[in-house]
């Protein structure tokens, strides 16, 4: 970031404002490219993981080695599909909804610190901002479901929105103990506070057991937040066809798909940076590993865990989902906040 | 120069969809147009250096209030034939009321001597947190009690509509409903 800024001010002779705008534009392009790439890689990974979980191969032929080119082929196929808009659909909203869903994810990606000096938007409210812009996704889903003018879409959208606004609460509450410990909402500061190997990460149950519980609260809530199994009621293919994106085809469907995987990786990255030490290497002697690689490996491992859960557990019912959120996870998360505070006061860990 | 441009863009983002909210015949469209107005206001806060307020605006209004508004609108959606018409009787009273409110606001904005300070560059959350826990602890606690009362009230309202009786009565009702 500093290098890029210096390049724009020094080599190209831009003033501070111009250089900032230029850096932001370049970062936006990089983030969007990474996001698209990650969606392509994760779809392949999802199919392979699903295959292994269910004792079958998954894609094997495209591109010779374990069907690695399958996701690329799928993307090309999707790009070539006809763009169908239902006659009875609300055309303006129908077209705008996929953009809004993708925008919500992309905005949140901006505040993720990938390495010590590589974060698109480094500002003090980073974590709070990530949770706030994620709510655009909820609006986008509601918009898609309503504009499709289809019962399944509307049911899917209503379920999705209800689920996402409910699980946003334990999701945000689970992060609060970490914010208390680091004394900052800036993701970069939270990562820096976990310096010094695996036992300094926030997940370590010996330094603070409540943070350990908070990690699991966060993980469960993040599965529900991304509308994935066992909490995939918004898209239940056995009852709702495909939920809120039933009517979407071609590029617009690809946008939803992209947003789903972008969100999946986003919540995993947040878990990695909040609980698992972000871009720090797990052991002191491993400083030679590039920080961004550390971070991506942690994110991908959490994504794998997420996929494992998705392809192992059966879907829960809507009432079970709401029971779990309001009667179990929110009280436990609140307890974590209070408990972590008391623990930190008792052991003098407060900043 | 850039400042003025940003201000004008944000103002347009706030005001144009606001007109759409008021004049749209489709109430769901009005709800979605509200999204842009709320985002525009958040942008305005951010532009003024109140970053915490901007993000809170997004979190509370876009993430919470707007979703609830849209839910309500969708649940009570009326067929196209019954959509609201724009007769003069519907236009005049709100217009008079809006003009009156605008007059009062305009007067307040011009009369009050605003204390203009420098936009802070240090984290605003620290200051806000300290103030909430020291100088403004009473309003803070007061608001939490009001919100708690509202939550309890909402829970009671839902229960009463379910069944006036006890838990047993509700359980019986569930039993009967089973095929």
Count other C-beta atoms under 10 Å from residue A207's C-beta: 17
Counting residues of chain B whose pLDDT is more than 90, the rounded percentage is 15
Euclidean distance between CA atoms A185 and A123, whole angstroms: 9
Query: Three-state SS string across A270-328, please?
Result: HHHHHHCCCCCCCCHHHCCCCHHHHHHHHHHHHHHHHHHHHHHCCCCCHHHHHHHHHHH
User: In total, how many domains does chain A have?
Assistant: 1
User: In total, how many domains does chain B have?
Assistant: 2
Whether residue A61 lies inside any domain: the answer is no
B-chain CB neighbours of A326 within 8 Å are none
Euclidean distance between CA atoms B93 and B111, whole angstroms: 27
A-chain CB neighbours of B66 within 8 Å are 139
Whether residue B70 lies inside any domain: the answer is yes
Q: Is residue B127 scored above 60 in pLDDT?
A: yes
Contact A135 B35 (CB under 8 A): no
Backbone dihedral angles phi then psi of residue B115, each to the nearest 5 degrees? -85, 95
Whether residue A246 lies inside any domain: the answer is yes
B-chain CB neighbours of A93 within 8 Å are 28-29, 32
Count other C-beta atoms under 10 Å from residue A235's C-beta: 22
Contact A132 B71 (CB under 8 A): no
What b/e sequence results for A54-69 when a residue is b if at least 16 CB atoms lie within 10 Å of its CB, and e otherwise?
eeeebbeebeeebbeb
Whether residue B73 lies inside any domain: the answer is yes
pLDDT, tens digit, 9 for 90 and up, residues A7-28: 777 777 677 777 778 888 888 8
The pLDDT of B145-171, averaged and rounded, is 73
Contact A124 B55 (CB under 8 A): no
Contact B55 A132 (CB under 8 A): yes
Domain closes at, from B83, B104, B139: B83
Same domain, B125 and B54: no
Instruction: List, as one string, the DSSP characters of A38-100.
Output: HHHHHHHHHHHHHHHHTTS--S-STTSGGGTTHHHHHHHHHHTS-----TTS-HHHHHHHHHH
Q: Give A165 or B173, the one with higher predicted confidence.
A: A165
Q: Is residue B177 scored above 80 in pLDDT?
A: no
Counting residues of chain A whose pLDDT is more than 90, the rounded percentage is 3
Whether residue B147 lies inside any domain: the answer is yes
Whether residue A35 lies inside any domain: the answer is no
In the prediction, which pLDDT does B83 show?
Answer: 54
Computed over every residue of chain A, the mean pLDDT equals 83
Backbone dihedral angles phi then psi of residue A18, each to the nearest 5 degrees? -60, -45
Residues in chain A: 351
Contact B123 A139 (CB under 8 A): no
Whether residue B99 lies inside any domain: the answer is no
The pLDDT of A319-328, averaged and rounded, is 86
Helix, strand or coil, per DSSP, at residue A115: strand
Euclidean distance between CA atoms A154 and A248, whole angstroms: 13
Facing A168 at nearest CB: one of B28, B32, B63: B63
Strand partners, A118: A115
Whether residue A43 lies inside any domain: the answer is no
pLDDT, tens digit, 9 for 90 and up, residues A298-318: 889 999 999 888 888 888 888
In the prediction, which pLDDT does B179 show?
Answer: 47
pLDDT, tens digit, 9 for 90 and up, residues A229-238: 788 877 777 7
Would you place residue B81 in the very low, low, confident or very high pLDDT band (cuts 50, 70, 90)?
very low
Helix, strand or coil, per DSSP, at residue A203: coil
Euclidean distance between CA atoms A205 and A202, whole angstroms: 8
**What tokens were used for A337?**
């906040």
The pLDDT of B32-43, averaged and rounded, is 89
Would you place residue A189 in the very low, low, confident or very high pLDDT band (cuts 50, 70, 90)?
confident
CA dihedral defined by B123, B126, B128, B134, rounded to 10 degrees?
-160
Would you place residue B119 in the very low, low, confident or very high pLDDT band (cuts 50, 70, 90)?
low
Contact B70 A135 (CB under 8 A): no
Instruction: Specify the DSSP class assigned to residue A283.
Output: S
Domain carrying residue A144: 82-346
- The answer to whether the beta carbons of residues B16 and B58 sit under 8 Å apart is no
In the prediction, which pLDDT does B82 show?
Answer: 52
Counting residues of chain A whose pLDDT is more than 70, the rounded percentage is 98
Question: pTM for this structure?
Answer: 0.82
Would you place residue B77 in the very low, low, confident or very high pLDDT band (cuts 50, 70, 90)?
low
Same domain, B2 and B79: yes
- The answer to whether the beta carbons of residues A302 and A268 sit under 8 Å apart is yes
Helix, strand or coil, per DSSP, at residue A118: strand
Q: Is residue A59 scored above 60 in pLDDT?
A: yes
In the prediction, which pLDDT does B174 show?
Answer: 54
Whether residue A214 lies inside any domain: the answer is yes
Contact B62 A165 (CB under 8 A): no
**Shortest Cα distance, chain A CAs vs residue B90, angstroms:** 26
Facing B125 at nearest CB: one of A125, A136, A142: A125
Which of these, A26, B158, A80, B84, lies nearest to B170 by C-alpha position?
B158
Would you place residue B123 in the very low, low, confident or very high pLDDT band (cuts 50, 70, 90)?
low
Domain closes at, from B54, B83, B112: B83
Strand partners, A115: A118
Q: Is residue A156 scored above 80 in pLDDT?
A: yes
A-chain CB neighbours of B123 within 8 Å are 124, 184-186
**Shortest Cα distance, chain B CAs vs residue A129, angstroms:** 6
The distance in angstroms from the start CA to the end CA of chain B is 70
Whether residue A147 lies inside any domain: the answer is yes
**Shortest Cα distance, chain B CAs vs residue A160, angstroms:** 11
Would you place residue A71 in the very low, low, confident or very high pLDDT band (cuts 50, 70, 90)?
confident
Considering only A252-261, A312-321, B76-85, B112-121, which range has the smallest mean pLDDT? B76-85
Which of these, A254, A256, A255, lies nearest to A244 by C-alpha position?
A256
Residues in chain B: 179
Contact B55 A125 (CB under 8 A): yes
Angle, helices A16-53 vs A70-79, to 10°: value is 120
Contact A124 B74 (CB under 8 A): no
Domain carrying residue B73: 1-83
Sequence-separated (6 or more) residues with CB below 8 Å from residue B127 = B120
Domain closes at, from B34, B60, B83: B83
**What tokens were used for A305?**
């865990």
Whether residue A22 lies inside any domain: the answer is no
What b/e sequence results for B169-178 when a residue is b if at least 16 CB atoms lie within 10 Å of its CB, and e otherwise?
eeeeeeeeee
Whether residue B108 lies inside any domain: the answer is no
pLDDT, tens digit, 9 for 90 and up, residues A82-113: 877 777 777 788 888 888 888 888 888 888 88
Whether residue A212 lies inside any domain: the answer is yes
């Amino acid at each position: 970031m500093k290098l890029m800024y210096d390049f724009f001010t020094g080599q190209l002779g831009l003033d501070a404002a111009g250089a900032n705008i230029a850096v932001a534009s370049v970062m936006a392009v990089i983030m969007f490219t990474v996001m698209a790439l990650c969606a392509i890689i994760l779809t392949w990974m999802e199919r392979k993981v699903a295959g292994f979980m269910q004792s079958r191969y998954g894609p094997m032929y495209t591109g010779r080695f374990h069907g690695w080119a399958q996701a690329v082929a799928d993307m090309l196929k999707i790009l070539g599909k006809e763009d169908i808009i239902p006659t009875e659909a609300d055309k303006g909203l129908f077209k705008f909804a996929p953009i809004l869903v993708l925008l919500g994810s992309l905005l949140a990606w901006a505040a993720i610190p990938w390495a010590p000096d590589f974060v698109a938007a480094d500002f003090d409210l980073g974590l709070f901002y990530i949770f706030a812009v994620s709510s655009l996704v909820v609006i986008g889903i509601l918009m898609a479901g309503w504009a499709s003018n289809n019962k399944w879409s509307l049911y899917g959208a209503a379920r999705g929105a209800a689920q996402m606004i409910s699980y946003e609460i334990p999701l945000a509450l689970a992060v609060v103990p970490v914010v208390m410990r680091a004394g900052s909402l800036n993701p970069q500061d939270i990562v820096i506070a976990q310096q010094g190997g695996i036992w300094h990460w926030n997940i370590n149950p010996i330094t603070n057991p409540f943070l350990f519980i908070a990690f699991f609260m966060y993980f469960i809530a993040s599965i529900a937040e991304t509308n994935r199994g066992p909490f995939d009621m918004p898209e239940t293919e056995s009852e709702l066809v495909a939920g809120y994106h039933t009517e979407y085809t071609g590029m617009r469907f690809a946008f939803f798909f992209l947003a789903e995987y972008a969100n999946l990786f986003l919540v995993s990255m947040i878990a990695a940076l909040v609980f698992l030490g972000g871009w720090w290497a797990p052991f002191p002697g491993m400083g030679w590993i590039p920080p961004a690689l550390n971070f991506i490996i942690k994110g991908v491992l959490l994504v794998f865990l997420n996929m494992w859960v998705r392809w192992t557990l059966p879907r829960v019912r809507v009432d079970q989902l709401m029971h779990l959120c309001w009667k179990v996870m929110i009280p436990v998360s609140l307890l974590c906040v209070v408990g972590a505070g008391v623990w930190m006061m008792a052991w003098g860990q407060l900043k | 120069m850039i400042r003025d441009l940003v201000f004008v863009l944000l103002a347009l983002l706030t005001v144009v969809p606001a007109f759409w909210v008021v004049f749209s015949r489709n109430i769901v469209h009005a709800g979605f147009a509200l999204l842009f107005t709320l985002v525009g206001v958040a942008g305005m806060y951010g532009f003024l250096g109140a970053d915490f307020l901007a993000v809170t605006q997004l979190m509370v209004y876009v993430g919470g209030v707007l979703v609830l508004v849209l839910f309500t609108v969708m649940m009570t959606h009326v067929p196209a034939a019954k959509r609201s018409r724009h007769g003069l009787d519907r236009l005049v009273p709100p217009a008079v009321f809006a003009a009156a409110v605008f007059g009062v606001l305009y007067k307040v904005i011009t009369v009050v001597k605003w204390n203009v300070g420098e936009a802070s560059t240090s984290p605003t959350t620290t200051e806000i947190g300290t103030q909430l826990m020291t100088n403004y602890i009473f309003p803070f606690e007061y608001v939490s009690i009001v919100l708690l009362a509202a939550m309890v009230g909402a829970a009671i309202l839902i229960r009463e509509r379910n069944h006036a009786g006890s838990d047993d009565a509700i359980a019986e009702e569930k039993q009967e409903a089973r095929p």
